[in-house]
Structure 1
Amino acid sequence: MVVKPNIPDESHSIWHDEVSIPTFEPLTQDVTADVVIVGGGITGITAAYLLTQQNVNVVLLDANTLLNGTTGHTTAKVTAQHEIIYNDLLSKMGYNTARMYYEANTDALHLIEELVTNYQIDCEFEKQDAYLFSTSGEYKNKLEKEYQAYENLNIKGKLETEIPFNITIENALSMKNQAQFHPLKYLTHLIQLITEKNGQIYEQTTAVDVEDSNGAAVVVTKDGFRVKANYVLACSHFPFYEGTGLYSTRMYASRSYVLAVKANKPYPGGMYLSVDKPEHSIRKAHYNGEEIYLINGEDHKTGQGQGMMEHFKNLKRFCDDIFTEGEYEILQRWSAQDLITLDKIPYVGAITKKRQNVLIATGYRKWGMTNGTNAAKLMSDIVLGNLNPYQELFSPSRFSPDPSLKKFFMENLDMAKHLVKGKMEMPRAKVEDLDFDEGTTIRVDGERKGAYKDKDGEVHIVDTTCTHAGCEVNWNESERSWDCPCHGSRFSYTGEVIEGPAEAPLQKHDHHMLDDFKFDDDSSGY
C-alpha cells in the first residue's frame, strides 16, 4: 500500500536549520550613530554592510531576532523575472520605467553575485534560467504579450513549448542567467563583516517612533531608549514609522505558502512559476545534504479567503500532479507575507518630501532578494551622497493617476468592506467546544472575541479589533495567529504584534476572569 505524504503539523522554514546566526543583546541605553537602521532582513543587513564598508557608524535594531521575518521565509530566487510585469509597466508607465526596473533588479543580482565571489561565501549560489509558464489560453496570450515586451525592452528571453515536469502547458517564457541561493548563509556572512567594521546590532529592540532633534533624527524604542542619527533607514518590512505617507493605504499584504519536498527523481534545472491563478512555483534547494524541491504559491490577501491549511493542501495536490504516487515526501512547510504597492514598484527613499533623512524600503511584491538588495544600495547611496540612477523610479512620493489612483480607491474600498463585514459577523462557537490547538471567534457579552485553546488545554482570549485601524482580525490556523484582512497586521494567539502596521497588541482577557460575563450561545449570537 502506498503511504500518502503528510503535511507537517508545525510551520518551519528550512533555511534556519543549517545556519548558526549570531545573537545580540537588546539596546539598554541611549546611543548616537551616523545612521540607524531598523529591520534585520536582507535590506537592513545589506545596507549596514554597504555603509560600514565606507566607515559609516551604523546602529541596526531588530524587534525580534535577525533574519526571522520574510527574509527567513523566502524561496530565495534572485531574478529580474517578477511574474508578468514588463508588459504592464511598458503599457502603463512607459519604456524608461519598465527598462529601469529590469536594470535595477539585474544590478541587484550582479551585486549579490559579486559579494558571493569576492568573499567566497558558501551559500549555494548558482545560476539558473527562470521560466514563466501558462496552462490556459488566457495566460498563453498574456505570456506572448510579455515576450513582446521583453523584445521591446531588449530583455533576453525566449518563448518555449514545454517544461520538464508532468504539467501540460500552453507556453513558457524564459529569462536566462538568473540565480538562486541560500539567503541565510549569504546574509550571516554579511553580518560578520558588519561586526568586523564595528557596526552595532541590537535584537529584541522595537522601534516605535521617530522624533526630530535640530535636523537630526531620533529613533525611540518601545523601552524608551533613543538612537540619535543623521539618517534613519526603515527596513522593517512594513515601515515602523509612516509619518504622513499613509503607506498602509497604498499597499496590501499578501501571504503565500511553501512545501519543502524530497522526491525520488533528480531536479531537472531551472526555476519555474505558473502565471495562472493560483500561481505555483518550483525551484531546487538542498536540505540535510540532499537535493529537494521547493513548491510555493497559493497567494492571497492576508486575513482573507479560505482556511490557511487549505492552501497547503492545494500545494500538496499540485505535488500529486507533478510527482507520481509514493514518489515524494513533505519535509517542512511554512508561509511568508509580502507587501504589494499600487503600481507594483517598491517604495524606496525619503518617507515624505519634508523628511529627507528618514528613508523607507517596502513593497517588494514577493521579490525581495533583488528588490531588497537594490533598496539597500539606493539608500546607502543617498546617505553617502552618491548619484543613483533609480532614485526617481522608486521614490515613495510618486503617485501617478494611472494606475495608482484607481487602485488606491479599490484597495481602500476593500478595506472598508472587510471593516463592515467583521463588525457584522455573529460568531456562534463556544469556548467549551474548542478542541486542543484550535482557535475561533466567539461572542462575549455581545462583543466579538478571539479564543484559542493551546495543546495543554489553556484558553487564550483576545479582543479581535485590530489596534491599527479597527478592523476585525481572523484566525489563521496554520500559523496560530490572528490576521487582519484590512492592512495585513498579524498578532500571536496571546495578542502580541507579529507584523505591522499595528504597533499595539490586542487586548488580552483572562479566561477565568470572564466567568462573570455572558458567553453568547443563542442562534443570533446575542
Structure 2
Amino acid sequence: MADNKKADYILPGRAESYWLATTPESSYPPLSGDIHIDVAILGGGIVGITTAFLLKEAGLSSVAVIEADRIIKGVTGHTTAKVTSQHGLIYDRLISKFGKEQAQQYADSNQAAIEKIASIISSKGIDCDFVRMPAYVYASSEESIVNIRNEVDAAQSLGLPASFESDLPLPFKTYGAVLFGNQAQFHPRKYLCALAKEIEGDGCHIFEKTRALKLEGDGPIKIITNKGIIKANKVIQATHFPIHDKPGLLFQRLYQSRSYALGVRIEEPFPQGMFISAEEPIRSLRSQPARESELIIVSGDGHRTGEGNEIDHYQNLEKWIRSIYPVNSIDYHWSTQDVISVDHVPYIGQITSGNENLYIATGFRKWGMTTGTAAAMILTDMILGKSNPWEEVYNPSRFKPLESAKTFFSQVAEATKGLVGERIIPTHENASQILPGEGAIVKIEGERVAAYRDEAGVLHTLDPSCKHMGCIVSWNSAEKTWDCPCHGSRYSATGKVIKSPAVYSLSEKKVRE
C-alpha cells in the first residue's frame, strides 16, 4: 500500500523556482565569430556576474561572461537566497581543522560579502527585496545543544554577531540555536539581472547559448566553444563544476549534492528570521514577499547526486511542512545541485601554480550568495594584481589532511562505484516495459542502455556512460533527467547535456525494443 501511495504522488505546484518564475528570461546574444579579450569568465551565476561587474567597475574594458544556457538560471537561480555568514555549524570545525587565522579569513570574507551586496544595492538603487534578517541554526534534539554552544563560542571568538538563543518563534520543539544578527535575504535574480545590465557594453560582453568545450594554452588561453574561439589573457572558471582541471586534483576533491525546495503559502504570518536545522535531514525555512501573500521557502533533504528517489524527497518536505503549519497551497517546487569540497571550504584562486592566468571558484556547499560574492572580490583583486586578505583559506592547492582525508577517500570510492555502475541496477527486463514519460536503465543483449519513452510513445535509447569520465548515469524521475553520480553532470531525457562538467551529449545507442 505504501509503495502504491508513492507511485501515485503528484509533485505539488509549478515545476520552477520562484526566482525564475517571477523575472523575465535574459536574451543576450551568443558568441559570433572569434574574439580576443582580456578576461573571460565561464559561467553566468553569482560568481561570474559579480566578478565581471566588479572588474568593469575597476576600469577593465574587455571582460566577457560566457554562459552555456541563459545567465542566472543554474544553481544561482535555484538557491534559497540567504545572504549570511552563518553556514550551518562551521566555525568551531574551521578553528579546529584550519586554525584560528584561516577561520578568521572565512568569517571576515563572508561578513564583507554581505556588506558588499548591500552597498551595491544601495549605490545602484536595485529593487530586489533585500531585507536585513536574523539567521538561526536550531537544534532539533538535546544531543545537539553542545554543538550549538560550541559554535556560538567559536563564532564570537571570531567577532561574528553570534549569540545563543533558547526561545525560537517556531511551532515545534527546539533545544536552542545559534543566532547571527543583521544578516539578510533577497531576490537573487532581480539583483543579478540588474548587475548584468551594467556589464554589457563599452567593450564588455555577455554571451549566452555559448558552451565552452575545452581550454588550450596558458597565455593567452584559447577557449574552444560551440560558437567560435575566444582568446583571453586570463580565464575564470565559475562553472559550478570545472570543465578544465589539470592535473586533475579537483575532480577527486569535489562532489555534488542535490537538495529540494517548495514554495508554500501558510495561513499565519511567518516569524522574522531565516532558519536551518543543525541535524540531517536538513530543514530550512525563510519567507519571501510575494503578490497574493507571503511565500515560505521550505528546503533541504539533500543527497549525493544520482542516488535515491527524487520524488521521495519532495514528499518528505511536503509532509514535514504540513505537520508544522496549516498550508493553504504549495505553488512551486524545484531542486538544485551544489558542489561541495572534501574539507567544506570553497576553492577560489589559481588552479595550480603552473598557470597563473587560469582561476577557479567552486565548492560553495550551498552557501553561494556570500561565498560567491567573496569569490568575486578575491578574484577581482588577483586579476588586478592586488593582494587579498582572505585568499589563503580558499587556496585551491591546499590539502588539509585532518579535515579532508576521510571524505577524500570516501569520494574516490563513490566515484569508483559510478564508473563501474555498481549502484545502478537495471529496473526493467526490456524497453517495452517503459511507459510514456518514463526512463530507466535496462539491460539489452547483455549491455546497459539508458532508455526513455517520450509522451508520444517514441523510445530514445542512449549509451549510459557519462561523457565526462564514463560513469553510468541514473534516471531522475522528478526532473526527467539523466544524472551522473560521480561528478554531477546532467542530461535531458533525450541525452542533451544540461550541466557540466560534461560538455558533450550522451551518445545514441541503437537497440531492438
Q: TM-score, normalised by structure 1?
A: 0.92
- 1:204-245 alpha-carbon deviations (Å, 9 max, x no partner): 1111222226x322211134x211121101111111211214
1:524 aligned partner: none
2:3 aligned partner: none
CA positional deviation for 1:404: 2.0
1:7 aligned partner: 11
1:523 aligned partner: none
CA positional deviation for 1:470: 2.2
CA positional deviation for 1:153: 2.2
d(CA) in 2 for partners of 1:423 and 1:70?
A: 26
4+ residue segments displaced more than 6 Å:
none
1:318 aligned partner: 320
d(CA) in 2 for partners of 1:197 and 1:289?
A: 41
Instruction: Work out whether residues 23 and 190 of structure 2, in 8 Å CA contact, stay in contact via their aligned partners in 1.
Output: yes
d(CA) in 1 for partners of 2:161 and 2:46?
A: 27
CA positional deviation for 1:429: 3.9
Instruction: Work out whether residues 135 and 170 of structure 1, in 8 Å CA contact, stay in contact via their aligned partners in 2.
Output: yes
* Matching residue's letter, 2:251: S
Of 35, 44, 49 in structure 1, the residue corresponding to residue 48 of structure 2 is 44
d(CA) in 2 for partners of 1:45 and 1:68?
A: 12
> Structure 1 residues 348, 378: CA separation in 2 closer, same or farther (over 3 Å shift)?
same
- SS of residue in 2 equivalent to 1:282: strand
Between 1:426-435 and 1:480-489, the stretch displaced more is 426-435
- 1:424-471 alpha-carbon deviations (Å, 9 max, x no partner): 835434322222222211112211111222223222221112222222
**Residues 12-27 of structure 1: matches in 2 within 5 Å?**
12-27=16-31
> Structure 1 residues 182, 154: CA separation in 2 closer, same or farther (over 3 Å shift)?
same
d(CA) in 2 for partners of 1:109 and 1:429?
A: 54
Instruction: Work out whether residues 11 and 478 of structure 1, in 8 Å CA contact, stay in contact via their aligned partners in 2.
Output: no
Q: TM-score, normalised by structure 2?
A: 0.94
Between 1:327-336 and 1:468-477, the stretch displaced more is 468-477
2:153 pairs with 1:137: no
- 1:12-35 alpha-carbon deviations (Å, 9 max, x no partner): 111122323431221121101111
CA positional deviation for 1:412: 0.4
2:460 aligned partner: 460
Of 90, 95, 118 in structure 2, the residue corresponding to residue 90 of structure 1 is 95
> Structure 1 residues 210, 420: CA separation in 2 closer, same or farther (over 3 Å shift)?
closer
2:6 aligned partner: none
2:304 aligned partner: 301
Of 90, 102, 107 in structure 2, the residue corresponding to residue 102 of structure 1 is 107
d(CA) in 2 for partners of 1:429 and 1:9?
A: 34
2:128 pairs with 1:123: yes
1:501 aligned partner: 501
- 1:241-270 alpha-carbon deviations (Å, 9 max, x no partner): 112142111111000000000111112110
5+ long unaligned stretches in structure 1: 520-526
Instruction: Work out whether residues 13 and 332 of structure 2, in 8 Å CA contact, stay in contact via their aligned partners in 1.
Output: no
2:167 aligned partner: 162
- 1:461-496 alpha-carbon deviations (Å, 9 max, x no partner): 211122222221111111111111122111111112
2:234 aligned partner: 231
* Matching residue's letter, 1:363: G
1:152 aligned partner: 157
CA positional deviation for 1:290: 2.7
5+ long unaligned stretches in structure 2: 1-8
* Matching residue's letter, 2:214: D
d(CA) in 1 for partners of 2:292 and 2:120?
A: 24
Q: CA RMSD in A?
A: 1.8
- SS of residue in 2 equivalent to 1:151: helix
* Matching residue's letter, 2:283: H
Instruction: Work out whether residues 21 and 188 of structure 1, in 8 Å CA contact, stay in contact via their aligned partners in 2.
Output: no
Of 258, 263, 276 in structure 2, the residue corresponding to residue 260 of structure 1 is 263
d(CA) in 2 for partners of 1:6 and 1:442?
A: 25
Aligned residues: 504
- SS of residue in 2 equivalent to 1:466: coil
* Matching residue's letter, 2:256: A
* Matching residue's letter, 1:443: K
Instruction: Work out whether residues 422 and 471 of structure 1, in 8 Å CA contact, stay in contact via their aligned partners in 2.
Output: no
- SS of residue in 2 equivalent to 1:352: coil
**Residues 406-445 of structure 1: matches in 2 within 5 Å?**
406-422=406-422, 425-445=425-445
